[in-house]
Amino acid sequence: MRPRKPWHPAALLGPSLLLLAVFVVFPVALAALASLYSWDLLTPPEFVGLANYRALAEGGELLGVALRTLGFSVLVVTGAMTLGLAIALLVHRPGRLFALVRGAVFSAYVVSWVAVALLWMGLLDPDAGLVAAVLRALGLGRVGFLGDPDTVLATLAAVTVWKVTGYAMILFLAGLEAIPPVLHEAASLDGAGHWNRFRHVTWPTLGPTTAFVATTSLILSFQAFDVVRIMTQGGPARASTLFVYAIYEQVFLNLSVGKASALTVVFFTLLLALATLQLRAWRARGMS
Amino acid sequence: MNPSSQKTPLGRRSFLHLAAAAASSAAGVSAAGAVGAACRPPLPREAGRTVATLWFSYGGKNREVLLDLVSRFNASQARVAIRATFQGDYFEALAKLRTALAANVAPTFSHVVGEVIPYLARAQVLEPLDSYERCDEFIPQLGQKGAFRDGHTHPTVAIPFNRSTPIMYANANLLDTLPSTWDELRDTARRLTRPSVGDPRWGFEVPISWWFWVAMLGQAGGTLIDTDGTPSLGADAGERALRFWQTLVHTDRSMRPPAGRDYNAWQVTNQDFLAGRAAVIWTSTAFLRYLEDTASFPVIAAPLPKDLRASVPTGGTFFVILRSAPPEEKEAAWTFLRWMCQPEQTISWATRTGYLPVTQAAVAQLRDSGYYDAHPNDRVAYEQLSAVEPWPWVPNLFRIQRDIVEPRLEDAVHRNLDAHAVMNSARAAARRPV
C-alpha cells in the first residue's frame, strides 16, 4: 500500500512514537543519567561515574539478580504454558462441568496478588500449613519452602504459575476454538490418533497463540513484584530478590537512587535483548 | 554540598528527581516529585483548631495504645489537633517520608529509627528543637545527647519516645533460669531443641537482623565504628558474633533463622515463641506486654547474655518534626510531644506496650509506686539500660546497616559462609564512598 502523501506514515506513527518517547525513552535516559550519581533523594547528588555499576558487579549482586530473574522467568513461562495448554486441551469440551472447571481455573488470575500471596503463605507454612501437613502424612521431611534459600525461588515460581495458568488456558482455548474442526476430521480419516492430531494439527495451528502466551508470560514474570514483596521481601539471603524488587529495595529501602537507576538500566537492556531475540525467532519461523 | 552540583545551569538536581521517578516507574512503584525544601502550605483548620499530621509505624497493640493517647490529647485541646496516620513498618514509613519530603507533602512530624537521623540531619529536613520549651529530663541512654559522631555540634532534632532494647524471653514452663552467657545459651538451646517433623521445637530463635548482631558484637567486646570514624564493624568481635549464629544454626541445629526479612522475620519469631515452636527468643522490649498477654504460658524476660561483657544497642524510634511544615503546625506538634513526655503519658505508653519510659520523672514515679517490683519483666528491661552501648550517629550509618551488613549477615547465616571473608567484604564496602 502506498501512502497518498509522503508525510502520512510519519503522521500516523507520530502519536505512538511520542508516547513511547515520553514514557519509555525519556525515563530510561534519565535513569541512565541518575545511575552515574550517588544520590539519596534528599541530599545533593554527587557524580560517581560508573561506580554504582562497579559496586553492583563487584558484590555479585547484579549477576545474582539477573540470573535469579531469568531462572524465575524460565520456570514461570514453561510452567504456565505447559499447564495452560494441558488444561485447555482437557476442558475444551461442551458441558456445565467443563465450564465450571474453566471458570475455576481462570478465577485465580483475577484474584489480587495480595490475596493469593497470603493464601499461599498460609498453605506453605512449614509448621502449620496444609502442604506441610500433607507432606508429613506422606512421611516426607520438612520443607522450608519460603524460608530456605534453595527452595524459595521455585516456590514463588510455582505460586505465580498457579495464578497465571488460567490466563494461559483462556488464550489456548481461544486458539483451539479457532482451529477448523474439519482439519481434525480429515486427520482422523487419515488414521491419525490423538497424539498425531495434536502434533500435526493442533500444535502447529496454535503457533501464534503460543508465541503470544510466551511473550505475555515472560513480561509478567519479569515484572514480578507483589509476590516477592508480600511473601519473602526478597529473602532469605536475597534468594528471591528479583529485578523489580531489587530496584524498589535500592531506591526506597536503601536510599540509593544511583544503584536503583543502574539496576533499571541493566534491566531495560536485558529485556531489550530478550525481546529482540524473541522477535528474530518469530520472524525466522514466519510468525508475525 | 558538592560544589559541582551547584554549577549545572539546567538544574541537575531537578533532572535527577525526574530520573528517580523514572527508575521507580520502571519498578512499577510510585516515586518522588520535586524537591521539598520549602515550607509547604498549612492544612485546613478543623473546628478552628490547627491540625498537625503524624505519620506513625506502630502495629497491633502498640498502634491501639498510640491512637488512644492521640485521641485523649485531641479531647483535651481547644487549639490544636493531631491527625495520626499509619504508614507501615519503620522502613516502609521511612520510604514514604523521604518521598513525601522530596515532593514537599511531608507530614508535620513523624518518628524514625535512630540510624537514619544522621542522614536526615545532613539533609537538613529536621526542625531544630532547642528553641522550643523543654520537655522533662530524658534518660541519657535514650536521648540524642552525644550520639552524633561527625565532629560537629548539632542542635536537638530528635525526641525519644518509643525506645527499646533487645531482650531475651523464655517459656517459663520449659526452664527456670535463663542463660546469662553465650555458652549457657548454647547449652540451653541444645537442651530445649526437639527435632521432630510433626512438632518441632527450636531451643533458640532470633531474627537475623543487624540490631541483634550489633548487640552480640558489643558483647564480644567490639565497637561498630572506631573512635576515628572507621567502620571496623567490630573487627574480630563482629566475626565472632556471626560465627556464634552459624554454630547455633548449622552445627547445633538448635536455632532456626525465621522466614521473611525485616519486621516480617520479627513477627515470625514472636509467632513461633507463642506457638511453642521456640523456647527462648530475642526480640524487642516493645513486645513485652504483647507476649505476656498473648502467651498461653508464663513468659520470663532476662537481659541478653554476655560474652566478654554485657552490651545492648537501643532501638525503637525518635520523634522528629519536619522542617518543611508551617510554623503553626510545628507548634501544634510540639505541644503534643511535650504532652507525651509528661509522666502520665510516658508511663501509660511504657506500661501498656513494653517500650522503655524515656523520662527521669516517669521512671521515678514507676519505681516509687512499686511497679517494677510487681512487674519483674519490666524491671529487667529497664535495668538493662546500664549495658547500653550508644549508637555512633555517623552519616552513612543507615547505608552500612541496610546495604552492607544486613544482606551479608543473612547470606552468611543461611549459607554458612566464611565469617571472616564476609565481614572483610562488609568492611571494604563500608569504607567505599558510594
Question: Using CA atoms, how far apart are residues B258 and A147, in angstroms rounded to an integer?
Answer: 7
Query: Across the interface, do B259 and A236 touch by the CB < 8 Å criterion?
Result: yes
pLDDT tens string A262-276: 999 999 998 888 888
Minimum CA–CA partner of B402 in chain A: A254
- The confidence score (pLDDT) of residue A287 equals 55
Question: Using CA atoms, how far apart are residues A40 and A217, in angstroms rounded to an integer?
Answer: 34
Please report residues of A whose CB lies closer than 8 A to that of B26. Answer: 27-28, 31, 244, 247, 264, 267-268
Question: Is the model's pLDDT at B39 over the cut of 80?
Answer: no
Question: Is the model's pLDDT at B9 over the cut of 50?
Answer: no
CA distances from B328 to A87, A143, B36, B82 (A): 64, 57, 18, 12
Do B120 and B223 belong together in one domain? no
Residue B29 lies in a domain: no
Residue B341 lies in a domain: yes
Query: Across the interface, do B119 and A30 touch by the CB < 8 Å criterion?
Result: no
Residue B329 lies in a domain: yes
- The confidence score (pLDDT) of residue B19 equals 54
CA distances from A205 to A81, A84, A137, A176, A281 (A): 16, 16, 44, 8, 17
Residue B2 lies in a domain: no
- The confidence score (pLDDT) of residue B1 equals 33
* Other CB atoms within 10 A of residue A18 CB: 10
- The confidence score (pLDDT) of residue B36 equals 43
The answer to whether B414 touches A237, Cβ cutoff 8 Å, is yes
The answer to whether A120 touches A231, Cβ cutoff 8 Å, is yes
Query: B305 preceded by cis ω (within 30°)?
Result: no
| Average pLDDT over every residue of A192-216 | 90
A238 DSSP assignment: T
Sheet holding B109-113, edge to edge: B80-86, B50-56, B109-113, B315-321, B159-164
Question: Is the model's pLDDT at B11 over the cut of 70?
Answer: no
pLDDT band at B153 (very low <50, low <70, confident <90, very high): confident
CB-nearest partner of A136 from B28, B98, B197: B197
Residue B376 lies in a domain: yes
Average pLDDT in chain A = 90
- Amino acid code (one letter) for A176: L
- Amino acid code (one letter) for B68: D
Do B248 and B300 belong together in one domain? yes
pLDDT tens string A208-226: 899 889 888 888 899 999 9
CB-nearest partner of B197 from A33, A141, A237: A141
CB-nearest partner of B261 from A45, A144, A234: A234
pLDDT tens string B355-364: 999 999 999 9
Question: Out of A74-78, B99-103, B277-281, B301-305, which region has the weakest mean confidence (pLDDT)?
Answer: B99-103
Give the structural domain span for B176.
166-313+396-431
CB-nearest partner of A42 from B19, B125, B411: B125
- The confidence score (pLDDT) of residue B335 equals 95
- The confidence score (pLDDT) of residue B4 equals 37
Question: Using CA atoms, how far apart are residues B69 and B1, in angstroms rounded to an integer?
Answer: 41
- The confidence score (pLDDT) of residue B10 equals 39
State the residue for C-alpha cell 516426607.
A140
- Amino acid code (one letter) for B376: P
Please report residues of B whose CB lies closer than 8 A to that of A238. Answer: 407, 410-411
A190 DSSP assignment: T
| Residues in CB range of A96: below 8 A, 6 or more apart | none
Do B403 and B271 belong together in one domain? yes
CB-nearest partner of B123 from A42, A233, A268: A42
Question: Is the model's pLDDT at B28 over the cut of 60?
Answer: no
pLDDT tens string B44-91: 777 789 999 999 997 788 899 999 999 999 999 999 999 999 998 888
Residue B22 lies in a domain: no
* Other CB atoms within 10 A of residue B195 CB: 10
Do B176 and B95 belong together in one domain? no
Do B235 and B274 belong together in one domain? yes
| Average pLDDT over every residue of B191-207 | 89
Do B239 and B170 belong together in one domain? yes
Question: Is the model's pLDDT at B5 over the cut of 70?
Answer: no
Do B197 and B76 belong together in one domain? no
CA distance A35 to chain B (A): 9
- The confidence score (pLDDT) of residue B20 equals 53
Do B218 and B349 belong together in one domain? no
| Residues in CB range of A53: below 8 A, 6 or more apart | A35, A62, A262, A266
* Number of domains chain B is built from: 2
- The confidence score (pLDDT) of residue B92 equals 87
- The confidence score (pLDDT) of residue B434 equals 56
Do B426 and B290 belong together in one domain? yes
- The confidence score (pLDDT) of residue B79 equals 92
Query: Across the interface, do B20 and A257 touch by the CB < 8 Å criterion?
Result: yes
Please report residues of B whose CB lies closer than 8 A to that of A136. Answer: 197-198
- The confidence score (pLDDT) of residue A284 equals 76
Query: Across the interface, do B23 and A256 touch by the CB < 8 Å criterion?
Result: no
> Best residue in A35, A120, A140, A255 to probe B by mutation, most B CBs within 10 Å?
A255
Please report residues of B whose CB lies closer than 8 A to that of A149. Answer: 414-415
- The confidence score (pLDDT) of residue B14 equals 55
How big is the CA angle at B220 (ends B214 and B226), to the nearest 5 degrees? 65
Residue B283 lies in a domain: yes
Q: What is the CATH number of the domain that holds B178?
A: 3.40.190.10
Sheet holding B278-284, edge to edge: B202-205, B278-284, B166-171, B299-302
Do B61 and B209 belong together in one domain? no
| Average pLDDT over every residue of B335-356 | 93
Minimum CA–CA partner of B95 in chain A: A252
Question: Is the model's pLDDT at A61 over the cut of 90?
Answer: no
- The confidence score (pLDDT) of residue B146 equals 79
Do B159 and B70 belong together in one domain? yes
Please report residues of A whose CB lies closer than 8 A to that of B249. Answer: none
Domains and CATH numbers, chain A: 66-232 (1.10.3720.10)
- The confidence score (pLDDT) of residue A3 equals 84
- The confidence score (pLDDT) of residue B272 equals 93
Do B144 and B212 belong together in one domain? no
